[in-house]
Amino acid sequence: MRRPKPRQSLTRKKRRLQEAEEIELLDSWIEAMKPASGTNPLAVTPPPPSAPAGRLPGAGGGFSPYAGCKLFSQLPISRRTKDGLARKYTEMSEIQRASLPHSLCGRDILGAAKTGSGKTLAFIIPVIEKLYKARWGPEDGVGSIIISPTKELAGQLFEELKTVGKYHTLSAGLLVGGRKDVDAEKQRVNTLNILVCTPGRLLQHMDETPNFDCSQLQVLVLDEADRILDHGFREQVDAIISQIPRVRQTLLFSATQTKSVKDLARVSLKDPEYISVHAESVTATPERLKQLAMIVPLEQKLNMLWSFIRRHLKSKILVFLSSCKQVKFVYEAFKKLRPGIPLKCLHGRMKHDVRMAIYLEFCQSTSVLFSTDVASRGLDFPAVDWVVQVDCPEDIPTYIHRVGRTARFTSDGRSVLFLTPSEKEMLKKLQSAEPKIPILSREPRKEKLEQISARLSSLLVQYPEMQQLAKRAFVTYLKSVHLQKDKEVFDVTKLPLEEFAASLGLAITPKIRFINQKKKGQKVLVEAVHEQEDGIDDSYKVANRKPQSSVKLNEEPEEDDILLPKKTIIDEEGNRDAEPGTRVLKKKKLKINVHRPVGTRLKYDEEGNIMPPLAAAIAGPESGNAVLRTDKVKERYEKLRQEMKEKDKEDKILNRQRLREKRKEKQMKLKRRRGEEEEEAADSEDGRSELDEAENGAAKRSKIRFVSDDEEEEKGNNKKDFGLCSDLVSIAEQEALALKLLGSMHS
Ligand SMILES: Nc1ncnc2c1ncn2[C@@H]1O[C@H](COP(=O)(O)OP(=O)(O)OP(=O)(O)O)[C@@H](O)[C@H]1O
C-alpha cells in the first residue's frame, strides 16, 4: 500500500512557485527584522513560544521579530530546513540564538562558544539557507565549502548536514584525504553544491581536478577555525583562500577562537560579528564538567591508568596519550591483561575506514578508547563518562578541547589529568586561566594502586613484538616531551628514565637517539645531542641512575620518530613504505671519466636520440664553447625559471578563463533545459509526489549524499606552490581590516 505523501497533488511548477513565494517572504522578513550589526540577540527578550512567526496577521503586513527567539520554528528559515531540524531539534542553544539572526542576513561571523554547545548547527543552517534562497542547482556547482581539521570531524559534520538538509534538493560531498578512487571523485566534485572537506583534500582537487571551479562560492566555513588557521595548515589554507572569490560570506567557529590579527586578515572577514556567548561566563569549560588533576610520577602512570579503568568498568572512558606509539603499546598491553571492559584505539596512522569504524563503535558502546589528539577536537561521542589525560596536553586550548569530549550539550561529565611532578606548572597555568578552568587537585590513593609492571615484564618476554612496542612508546614519549614548546612545563631532564622504562615492563632502559646516556659513577650524564630545539639544555644531570642505563641497546630506527619529519617512501598506489629502514640499499659506485672535457657529456631523449650537450644548452650560443661557467649557468637558469613562471601564470589564467566560460555556457544550457522540462512536466500533470521522485531515483537534482567513504591518511602538508590571486587585497589592507574588527570587539 502506498504511504500518504505530503504535497502529493503538487506539480513541480506549483512547487517552484511556492518556493519562490517562500523565498520572497523570507527575504522580506529577514530584511525587515534583522538585528542591528554589533548587537547581541541574546539580550533581546524572547517572544513566547506560542507567538506567531513570519508575516503577522492584520493590515500592517509586518513580520514577527526573530532576534532573541528561542525556537527554530520562529526563525526566518525555509520549511524544508525546519522539517529537517524538527527530526532532532526544537529549541536553540545560546550560540545558535546569538549567531543565526546575524548569519541569516549574510553577515560574516567569528563565533566562539564552549565545547559541545551546538556550534555545528550555527553554521550548517545558514549554509543551507543561503543556497536554497539562491535556488542553487547542480549546474551552479560549488556554493559552499566547510573545512574541518580532521577526517572524523568532517564525517560528523557531513552527517549533521544530511540530517538538517534531508528535505532539500542540494547535493553535498565529503572530501577527505587519501581516497583511492580520487578519479571518480574528480568526475563528481563539480556537480556538488556543498563540500565538507579537510584542507589537504580540497587543495588536491583545486590543484588536480581539471575543471574544478569554486568561482561562484557563496559561503566559506572554517570549523575549529583556530586550528585550521594555525601554522600546521598555514600553506594549505593560504593556497585555498587565494583560489576562492573574496566576495562571499565567511563563518569561523571554535571553542577556543583565534584573535590573531594576522589570522583574521588571512581570511578577509568583512565587518564580522564577533559572537562569544560564553565570554562573560565564569568558566572556559562546560558547567556540568567536573575536573580533577593528580600528580602521578611518570613510572606510576600506567599503574594509575590500569587501576582507574578497573574501578570504572561500567563507564565510557576516553584516554588521551601523546603519540601513536604509546596508544599502540598501552592498547595492546592492556588488551592482553584483560581489564574486563572492551578496549579500542584511535590514532592518525590508522587507515581512514578503520578510524571511522572505531569512531562509530565508540559512539555506540561502553568501552575505553585510547587515542592521540586526533580525537581531541570537535568529535561528538555520545555519553562519554570520563576523559582521562594520561599525558599532559601541550597547551590550555588542547586541554579545553580534550575535556570537551565529555559533558556535551546538557550532559554531565568528568575528567582527570595526570601530571608528573615536573609538570606541576601546568596545573598552575590551568588554575589561573581566564576565563577559569575549575580544576581540583587530588592526591592519588597509593594504597589502591594495582601494580602491573611485573605483569607487563612477563608480557614482554612472552610476546617479543611487545618489546618493540614498549621501546617505541618509551622513545616517542620522551621525544614528545623534548619537543614541546612550553619549557616551563615540559622538561625531559627531570624524567626518571629507568623507572619509566621499568614501568613499561622493559628490563633495560633503551638508548635513544636524541639523548645520550653515559655512566658517571652512580649518576648518569644525560646529554641532548639533538640539535637545540626551543632552548632545551645541551647537557644536564639526572641523579641516582642505575648503571644499566649505559648498556648499549638497539637504537630506535628512524621511523620511530613521529615527531620529527620522516622520510616516507610512497609506492605507485600511494601506499607508504612503513619500514624504509629495513631495506638493504647498496650504493652504486659511479665511475667518473676524469679525462672527459667538462660539459661534453652526452644526453639522450626518451627515444634514445642524442640531445645537445647540457652545457651548450645552458651556456647558450653566445658562450662560444661548451665549457660550463657557473655564473652563466646560474644566470641562464634564473632566466629560464622566470620565463617558465610567467608562462605558467599566463597558462593558468587562460585556462581558468576558458573553463569559466565553458562552465557558464553549460550552466545556461542546463538552466534552459531545466526550465523547459519543468514547463513540460507542468503541462502534463504527472501528479507524482516529491517523495516518489526521490524513491524512484527520478529526481533531476540529487539529494544530499555521501561521496567519500574510503580514505587513507590525510596528507598533512601539501607541498604545492600556489601563487596568490591578483584580486587579493594586500596583507597590509587585510591587517587593517582585522585591526578594525578587533577594535570593535573590545569596544
Ligand atoms: N539546539 C539543540 N538542541 C539539542 N541538541 C543540540 C542542539 N544543538 C546541538 N545539539 C547537540 O549537542 C551536541 C554538541 O553539538 P556540536 O557538536 O555542534 O557542539 P560544538 O559546539 O561544535 O562542540 P565542539 O566545540 O566540541 O566542536 C550534539 O550532539 C548536537 O546534536
pLDDT digits (tens, 9 = 90+) for 499-543: 999 999 999 999 877 665 544 433 333 333 232 222 222 222 222
Lowest mean pLDDT among 57-71, 299-313, 708-722: 708-722
For residue 188, pLDDT beyond 70: yes
Of 567 and 92, the structure prediction assigns the larger pLDDT to: 92
Residue 318 has pLDDT above 90, yes or no: yes
Of 436, 109, 115, the C-alpha closest to 254 is 115
Share of the chain above pLDDT 90, in %: 54
Same domain as 262, residue 205: yes
| Higher pLDDT pick, 588 / 153 | 153
Which residue's alpha carbon is nearest to atom 25 within ligand 1? 115
User: Mean of the pLDDT values across residues 84-105?
Assistant: 96
Which atom of ligand 1 sits closest to the CA of residue 378? 27
Residue with more model confidence, 554 or 284: 284
- The three-point CA angle 62-65-70 to 5° equals 150
Q: 471 lies in which domain range?
A: 455-517
Q: Are strands 523-528 and 515-520 parallel, antiparallel or unpaired?
A: antiparallel
Q: Same structural domain for residues 128 and 212? A: yes
Asked whether residue 635 is assigned to any structural domain, the reply reads no
Same domain, 117 and 236: yes
Closest CA to 28 of 56, 58, 70, 52: 56
Query: Is the predicted pLDDT of residue 462 greater than 70, yes or no?
Result: yes
Nearest-atom index, ligand 1, CA of 91: 1
The answer on pLDDT for 461 being more than 60 is yes
Which range is least confidently modeled, 372-376, 691-695, 700-704?
691-695
Distance (Å) from CA 160 to ligand 1 centroid = 10
Closest residue by CA, ligand 1 atom 29? 380
Cβ-contact 325, 468 below 8 angstroms: no
What pLDDT does 431 receive?
94
Q: Name the grid cell of 480.
A: 614528545
SS3 at position 249: strand
Per-residue pLDDT, 600: 46
Q: Are residues 209 and 264 in the same domain?
A: yes
For the stretch 323-338, what's the b/e string if a residue is b when 16 or more beta carbons lie within 10 angstroms of its beta carbon? bbbbbbbbbbbbeebe
Q: Which of 224, 409, 415 to mutate to test the pocket of ligand 1 (most atoms within 8 A of CB)?
A: 409
Higher-pLDDT residue of 632, 265: 265
CA distance 334 to 326: 12
Q: Say which DSSP state 495 is in.
A: S
Give the chain's mean pLDDT. Answer: 78
pLDDT band at 2 (very low <50, low <70, confident <90, very high): low
How far apart are the C-alpha atoms of 74 and 347, rounded to whole Å?
Answer: 42
Does 128 sit in the ligand 1 pocket, CB within 6 Å?
no
Residue 576: how many CA atoms within 13 Å on its side-chain side?
A: 15
With the most atoms of ligand 1 within 8 angstroms of its CB, the residue from 162, 408, 410, 415 to mutate is: 408
Tell whether ligand 1 has an atom less than 6 A from the beta carbon of residue 99.
no
Q: Is residue 408 lining ligand 1, measured as CB closer than 6 Å? A: yes
**Residues in the chain, overall count:** 747
For ligand 1, whether the C-beta of 363 sits within 6 Å is no
From the CA of 115, give the closest atom in ligand 1: 25
128 inside domain: yes
Q: Do 420 and 394 touch, CB atoms closer than 8 A? A: no
2: which 3 cell numbers? 502506498
Q: Using the mean position of ligand 1's atoms as its centre, give its distance from the Cα of residue 72 in Å.
A: 14
Residues 268 and 365 occupy one common structural domain: no
- Element of type H or E holding 458: helix 453-462
Rounded Cα distance, 545 and 520, in Å: 9
Q: What residues are paired with 413 via a beta bridge?
A: 289
* Cell numbers placing 581: 629502514
Model confidence at 296, pLDDT cuts 50, 70, 90, reads: very high
Whole-number Å distance, alpha carbon 99 to ligand 1 midpoint, is 14
- 718 versus 149: the higher-pLDDT residue is 149
| Assigned C-alpha cell, 697 | 531515483
Q: Is the pLDDT of residue 342 over 90?
A: yes
Q: Could you tell me the distance, in angstroms and rounded to a whole number, from the CA of residue 85 to the centre of ligand 1?
A: 13
- Say which DSSP state 46 is in: P
What is the model's pLDDT at position 584?
A: 35
Q: DSSP alpha helices (H): ranges in 34-145?
A: 79-86, 94-103, 119-133
Is 650 part of any domain?
no
Q: By C-alpha distance, which of 468, 569, 563 is closest to 514?
A: 563
Residue 269 near residue 733 (C-beta atoms within 8 A): no
Helix (H) or strand (E) holding 735: helix 731-746
Q: In the structure, what pLDDT confidence band is assigned to residue 606 with cuts at 50, 70 and 90?
A: very low
- Using CA positions, which residue lies closest to atom 7 of ligand 1? 118
- Whether residues 246 and 320 fall in one domain: no
| Cα of 385 from ligand 1 centre, angstroms | 17
Task: Give residues with Cβ within 8 angstroms of 242, minimum separation 6.
Answer: 722, 723, 724, 725, 728
Q: What is the pLDDT of residue 552?
A: 28
Q: If pLDDT is split at 50, 70 and 90, which confidence band does 226 have?
A: very high
723 band by pLDDT with thresholds 50, 70 and 90: very low
Residue 727 falls inside a structural domain: no
Give yes or no for a contact between 381 and 367, defined as CB atoms under 8 angstroms apart: no
Confidence of residue 177 (pLDDT cuts 50, 70, 90): confident
**Which of 418, 449, 480 is the last residue before a domain boundary?**
449
> Cα(401) to centroid of ligand 1, in Å?
14
| Ligand 1 midpoint to CA 65 (Å) | 25
Average pLDDT over residues 664-682: 65
Residue 498 within a domain = yes
**Residues 699-718, mean pLDDT to the nearest whole number:** 35
DSSP state for residue 146 in the 8-state scheme: E
pLDDT at 456 over 50: yes
Query: Domain ends where: 244, 276, 308?
Result: 276
- Report the interhelical angle of 12-33 vs 119-133 (nearest 10°): 120
Using alpha carbons, list the distances in angstroms from residue 89 to 71, 72, 96, 113, 364: 9, 8, 12, 19, 21
**419 and 510 assigned to the same domain:** no
Q: Judge whether residue 175 has pLDDT over 80.
A: yes
Q: From the CB of residue 703, how many other CB atoms can be counted at a distance below 10 Å? A: 17
Q: Is the pLDDT of residue 438 over 60?
A: yes
Element housing 688 (H / E): none
* Res 734: pLDDT: 55
**405 close to ligand 1 (CB < 6 Angstrom):** no
Atom of ligand 1 minimally distant from the CA of 405: 26
Domain membership of residue 586 (yes or no) is no
Alpha helices for 165-254 (secondary structure H): 182-188, 199-208, 225-229, 234-241
C-alpha cell at 360: 562509530
**Does ligand 1 come within 6 angstroms of the Cβ of 255?**
yes
- Tell me if 201 sits within 8 A of 175, measured CB to CB: yes
Give the model's pLDDT for residue 321. 98
Same domain, 417 and 305: yes
**Measuring from atom 8 of ligand 1, which residue has the nearest CA?**
118
User: Mean of the pLDDT values across residues 89-116?
Assistant: 96
For residues 655-662, give the mean pLDDT: 77
Alpha-carbon span 507 to 553, nearest angstrom:
11
Residue 509 CA to residue 507 CA, distance in Å, equals 7
Cβ-Cβ contacts under 8 Å for 634 (sequence gap 6 or more): none
Rg (CA), the chain: 30
Interval 716-745 mean pLDDT: 43
- Decide if pLDDT at 642 tops 90: no
Mean pLDDT of 653-658: 78
User: Which CATH number does the domain housing residue 139 bear?
Assistant: 3.40.50.300
Q: Residue 524's closest CA among 544, 510, 502?
A: 544
pLDDT in tens, 44-81: 998 888 888 888 877 577 899 999 999 999 999 999 99
The predicted pLDDT at position 515 comes to 65
Tell me what pLDDT residue 300 has: 96
How much is the pLDDT for 690?
Answer: 29
Per residue in 381-430, pLDDT (tens digit) is 999 999 999 999 999 999 999 999 999 999 999 999 999 999 999 999 99
| CA dihedral sign of residues 234, 236, 238, 244 | negative
What percent of the chain is helix, strand and coil (3-state, nearest 5)? 45, 15, 45
> Are residue 310 and residue 341 in the same domain, yes or no?
yes
Q: Can you tell me the mean pLDDT for 614-627?
A: 42
Among residues 247, 276, 305, the one where a domain terminates is 276
Indicate if the pLDDT at residue 704 is higher than 70.
no
Instruction: Kindly state whether residues 148 and 111 are assigned to the same domain.
Output: yes
Clarify whether residues 321 and 362 are in a common domain.
yes
Atom of ligand 1 nearest to the CA of 92: 1
The pLDDT score that the predictor gives to residue 62 is 87
Domain tally, the chain: 3
Residue nearest to atom 16 of ligand 1 (CA): 118
pLDDT of residue 114: 95
- If one compares 546 and 179, the residue with the highest pLDDT of the two is 179
* Cβ(380) – ligand 1 distance below 6 Å: yes
- Per-residue CA distances from 403 to 377, 383, 609, 729 (Å): 10, 13, 66, 39
Percentage with pLDDT > 70 across the chain: 71
The three cell numbers locating residue 626: 661548451
The DSSP element (H or E) to which 31 belongs, if any, is helix 12-33
Report which DSSP code applies to 611: E
Does any domain span residue 334?
yes
Q: Which DSSP category does 421 fall into? A: G
Say which residue the cell 550589526 belongs to: 37
Whether the pLDDT of residue 316 is over 50: the answer is yes
Same domain, 358 and 468: no
Q: Is the CB of 286 under 6 A from ligand 1?
A: no
In-domain check, residue 112: yes
